[in-house]
């Protein structure tokens, strides 16, 4: 304890000196690099740190690192009230009060999550640049209630990467292209691009992303951090610009499994406006850190999903090393060559198109009279008349969604049933039952490709679909590096198995320690 207090005292002193002498001109002297929630809150409690100083340092780092050099472009806007809120939290600490598990912890939100403050919610679209939600989303409210300081809103693949063909992940009409935090001409993946880069580059401690299929997992993997895509219904989706009510979810992004687990527990309130959070059998935990121990792999039966083996020999080598580590820590590995029946991905696409139109129109209606666009039809017309929006890629998915009508309801219901049966009862549940598995594992993807605004994304594979389509949980965390670029491993499984997956992920993390601070390398 004395060592921790002394280190935090020195951290606070370093911050004051660096601000006075250098103004944090680059990242090398930033005193909070890789700091954890536990370290920050201990510093607040013993008086060696203040929330105002910490938040001020992160805001200055965003200004210098994100907006100037190396100009990561992870952030769309900054919360002008962040420092004022930080001062409120400091005043509460002086009275002996801590709001909750995130008291004084900096967080950024993907800019498709509503906040009722001086920040718009844009989905990266110029159509919504002046769209100010009428209330906090439950996610934003729970973060504030837990004491988190929302620093700002993060860039994303516009409309969560469900707008059109040949898109570049991390590009939005309102904010341009986000860069990968490790090698600057590489892609950050998406759609929660800015959220992942902000965490990896130490522009924040936590971020909240959203996923329909891969949008938390892929950018977390590509930027060397931990991302949790929880079971659909664990976290409310109200006040989040939607794609699919069947697959959408928000989730925490952090530099460690422990920090991600702490954040996850703060976001699990039921919401009467989101029936997924009210479903029978929903399992939540007030403290997910209770499941974290270094022996979490011992005795576990883990299914290695081999569908991607042979595509990239460098990724194969990392995965082989990861499996060897798991075996050394007492896990049994069972190879699984197939999870989803044929056709499930096609059913998912049809479901997404139908639900997209309904969801977007409902979101626009909830904005009331101040809505900049009032329907998907108006959004499509706005894009046609804008000088930037369609410069690099089209809006085919918006147009396909707009073409859906009530006459398509029957085919939608049939596709939904086949999708859910195929991904759940005849997919993940079947495989895990037959092999008596505790979890499944696969490489999250391949190293980040070069960003190409002309030809769009160029990735080899991603393993997010089984968990995404079923609505089941998935955790990605660093597995190693290939030529300076991080690669993640995904741990996924049954509905509501977050506690089990966190135990496995934490044990792997503690025995592997693959997280590495990015250096923003030029190509």
Residues serving a catalytic function are 110, 191, 215
**Contact assessment for residue 110 and residue 252, using Cβ atoms and an 8 Å cutoff:** no
CA 490 – CA 463 distance, rounded (Å): 8
Burial of 206 (0-12, 13-18, 19+ CB in 10 A): buried
CA 308 – CA 362 distance, rounded (Å): 38
Q: Which residues of 36-68 are buried (b: 16+ CB within 10 A; e: fewer)?
A: bbebbbbbbbeebbbbbbbbbbbbbbbebbbee
CA 395 – CA 58 distance, rounded (Å): 36
The β-bridge partners of 152 are 78, 108
* CB contact set of 12 (below 8 Å; sequence gap of 6+): 31, 43, 48, 49, 50, 53
* Nearest to 264, CA basis, from 385, 472, 101: 101
Q: Tokens 């403290």, residue?
A: 287
**Contact assessment for residue 200 and residue 477, using Cβ atoms and an 8 Å cutoff:** no
**Contact assessment for residue 506 and residue 474, using Cβ atoms and an 8 Å cutoff:** no
Angle between the 257-265 and 498-512 helix axes, to the nearest 10 degrees? 160
Give kind and range of the element (H or E) at residue 149. Answer: strand 149-154
179 token code pair: 């860069």
* Nearest to 106, CA basis, from 155, 160, 52, 142: 52
Sheet holding 249-254, edge to edge: 75-78, 149-154, 106-110, 206-211, 249-254, 226-229, 474-482, 485-492, 439-443, 301-305, 332-336
DSSP state of 290: G
Cα angle 288, 291, 295 (rounded to 5 degrees) comes to: 150
* CB contact set of 507 (below 8 Å; sequence gap of 6+): 293, 294, 295, 296, 297, 298, 329
**Contact assessment for residue 282 and residue 249, using Cβ atoms and an 8 Å cutoff:** no
């Amino acid at each position: 304890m004395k060592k921790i207090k002394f280190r935090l005292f020195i951290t606070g002193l370093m911050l004051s000196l660096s601000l006075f002498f250098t103004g944090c001109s680059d990242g090398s002297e930033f005193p909070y690099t890789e700091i954890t929630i536990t370290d920050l809150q201990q510093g607040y409690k013993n008086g060696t740190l203040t929330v105002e100083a910490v938040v001020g340092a992160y805001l200055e780092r965003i200004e210098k690192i994100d907006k100037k050099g190396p100009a990561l472009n992870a952030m769309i806007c900054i919360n002008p009230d962040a420092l004022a809120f930080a001062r409120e939290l400091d005043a509460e600490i002086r009275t002996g009060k801590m709001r909750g598990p995130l008291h004084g912890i900096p967080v950024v939100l993907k800019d498709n999550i509503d906040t009722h403050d001086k920040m718009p919610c844009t989905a990266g679209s110029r159509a919504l640049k002046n769209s100010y939600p009428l209330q906090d989303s439950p996610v934003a409210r729970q973060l504030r209630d837990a004491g988190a300081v929302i620093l700002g809103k993060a860039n994303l693949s516009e409309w969560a990467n469900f707008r059109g063909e040949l898109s570049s992940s991390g590009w939005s009409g309102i904010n341009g292209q986000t860069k990968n935090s490790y090698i600057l001409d590489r892609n950050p993946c998406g759609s929660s691009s800015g959220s992942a880069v902000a965490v990896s580059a130490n522009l924040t401690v936590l971020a909240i992303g959203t996923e329909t299929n891969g949008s938390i997992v892929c950018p977390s993997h590509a930027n060397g951090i931990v991302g949790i895509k929880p079971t659909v219904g664990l976290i409310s989706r109200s006040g989040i610009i939607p794609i699919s009510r069947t697959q959408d979810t928000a989730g925490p992004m952090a530099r460690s499994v422990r920090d991600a687990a702490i954040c996850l527990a703060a976001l699990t309130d039921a919401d009467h406006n989101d029936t997924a959070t009210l479903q029978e059998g929903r399992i939540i935990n007030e403290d997910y850190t209770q499941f974290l121990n270094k022996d979490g792999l011992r005795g576990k039966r883990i299914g290695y999903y081999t569908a991607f083996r042979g595509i990239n020999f460098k990724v194969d080598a990392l995965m082989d090393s990861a499996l060897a580590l798991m075996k050394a820590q007492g896990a049994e590995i069972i190879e699984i060559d197939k999870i989803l029946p044929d056709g499930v991905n096609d059913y998912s696409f049809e479901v997404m198109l139908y639900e997209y139109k309904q969801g977007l129109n409902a979101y626009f209606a909830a904005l009331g009279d101040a809505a900049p666009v009032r329907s998907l039809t108006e959004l499509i017309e706005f894009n046609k008349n804008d000088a930037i929006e369609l410069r690099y890629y089209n809006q085919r998915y918006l147009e396909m969604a707009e073409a859906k009508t009530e006459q398509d309801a029957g085919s939608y219901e049939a596709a939904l049933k086949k999708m859910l049966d195929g991904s759940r009862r005849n997919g993940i549940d079947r495989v895990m039952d037959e092999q008596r598995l505790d979890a499944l594992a696969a490489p999250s993807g391949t190293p980040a490709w070069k960003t190409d605004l002309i030809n769009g994304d160029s990735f080899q594979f991603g393993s997010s679909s089984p968990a995404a389509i079923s609505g089941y949980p998935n955790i990605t965390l660093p597995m190693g590096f290939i030529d300076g670029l991080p690669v993640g491993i995904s741990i996924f499984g049954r509905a509501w198995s977050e506690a089990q997956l966190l135990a496995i992920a934490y044990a792997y993390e503690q025995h592997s320690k693959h997280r590495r601070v990015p250096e923003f390398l030029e190509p």
